[in-house]
Amino acid sequence: MRVRRARPEDAAAIAPLIGVPGDLTTREVLVGKLLSEDRPGAHLWVAEDERGVVGFSRLSHVPALAPEDPRRVPEGWYLLGVHVTEAHRGRGLGTALTQARLDFARDHAEAGHVYLFRDRDNAASAALGAKFGHRLVQRDIVPMNGEEPERPLDLWSVPLPSWRLRDATRHDAPAIGQLIAGRSSRDPVAWAEKTRQALLRQDPPLHIFVAEAEGEVVGYTRVAWMRGHAPEDPRCVPEGWYLLGVNVREDYRRQGIGAALTRRRIAWLRERGATGWLRYFRDFDNHGSQALHAGFGFQVEAEDVWSPGLENPEKRLVLERVRL
């Protein structure tokens, strides 16, 4: 599964997903207009699997339509809906499509936020907005068409992050070493070298992502394939793909970086066709990690497990998993 910018040839696949009146031909024409170069303020993204498009979303710049009317939506960039086929709901596509739009808006919007409006009873939209830190701006607004809505609509804003995610390179190793040392008594130089070697070797398969702000690495995380080191021991974690920790600099915590790094790793695996179970393990009392992963559907698989390479092999861990 991957998310990308929509192209004109996607119009026929997007049309059946639009929840507006009209036959498929009419809707296809509408999508074609949105994708044309004559609409520079409209941007569409699609989610697709090996069979084709299974979801889409839209980001548009809306001009000041009626500044004298306090109930009309203000000028700005708007997240305009997420549409996913029923068979593909509950897999994080709405989150991935929203993240793609926010990444684009961060580089193009002058304001530090984007808007969205939604039906007050739309629980799914509310849950999605909460993931990205939405804030209520105004209740009972009138949408862009100027018509009174059938149900009450509220206007929300979503802050744009000051940071961005990217793949790590060997040049990031010293900064990653400092992040590791900042949370423990470990030697940053030794961990920088260990990280550099891991990036060069990538055996077993390993991928590292970093969060960067103002040219500095402020967070990092890993996803890796772990081999079954002791299959005869039921307490040893099984072979497979694992999310291996999130480390964020203290002054950048509680800004959604941990969730974004987790979302990026899951997307990276799905884009490469990974299947089966994705796992992570945590300390029994690490409630922050439990809450973070619960948001992505992880559930407890086993308790009192151990993993090779831990400094304290006697430490009791909880193993959780989610289906890719």
pLDDT tens digits, the chain, 324 residues: what are they? 678 888 888 888 888 887 655 566 666 777 777 776 556 678 889 988 878 899 999 998 888 877 778 888 888 999 988 989 998 888 788 888 998 898 888 877 777 899 998 999 999 889 888 888 899 999 999 887 788 888 899 999 998 888 889 999 989 999 998 888 877 777 788 878 888 887 777 666 889 999 999 899 999 999 999 886 666 777 888 999 999 989 999 999 878 889 889 988 998 898 888 999 999 999 988 888 888 888 788 999 999 888 876 656 667 799 999 998
In the chain, the number of structural domains is 2
Helices (H), the chain: 11-14, 24-35, 93-108, 123-131, 173-182, 188-201, 257-271, 287-294
Q: Which of 134, 159, 184 is the last residue of a domain?
A: 159
Q: Are residues 103 and 177 in the same domain?
A: no
The reply to whether 168 and 317 lie within a common domain is yes
Give the range of the structural domain holding residue 287, as residue numbers without chain letter.
164-323
The SS3 assignment for 4 reads: strand
Residue 287, burial from CB neighbour count under 10 angstroms (0-12, 13-18, 19+): exposed
| Same structural domain, 93 and 180 | no
Q: What is the DSSP letter of 304?
A: E
Residue 99 shares a structural domain with residue 55: yes
Q: What's the rounded Cα separation, in Å, for the pair 50 and 2?
A: 9
Domain boundary among 130, 159, 188: 159
The pLDDT of residue 161 is: 82
CA separation, residue 195 to residues 16, 96, 213, 229 (Å): 47, 28, 20, 22
The full DSSP string for 66-80 is -TT-TTBPPSEEEEE
Distance CA 240, CA 322 (A): 12
- Which of residues 106, 129, 159 is at a domain's end? 159
Is 160:116 a contact under the CB 8 Å cutoff?
A: no
- 110 and 235 within one domain: no
Residue with tokens 């793909």: 241
In this prediction, residue 148 carries a pLDDT of 85
Determine the 3-state secondary structure of 220 from DSSP: strand
Looking up residue 8, the CATH number of its domain turns out to be: 3.40.630.30
Quick one: 26 and 150 in the same domain? yes
Residue with tokens 């002054």: 251
Assess whether 117 and 222 both reside in one domain: no
One domain for residues 208 and 95: no
pLDDT reported for residue 147 = 83
**What's the alpha-carbon Rg for the chain, to the nearest Å?**
22
Rounded to an integer, what distance in angstroms lies between the CA atom of residue 235 and that of residue 310?
14
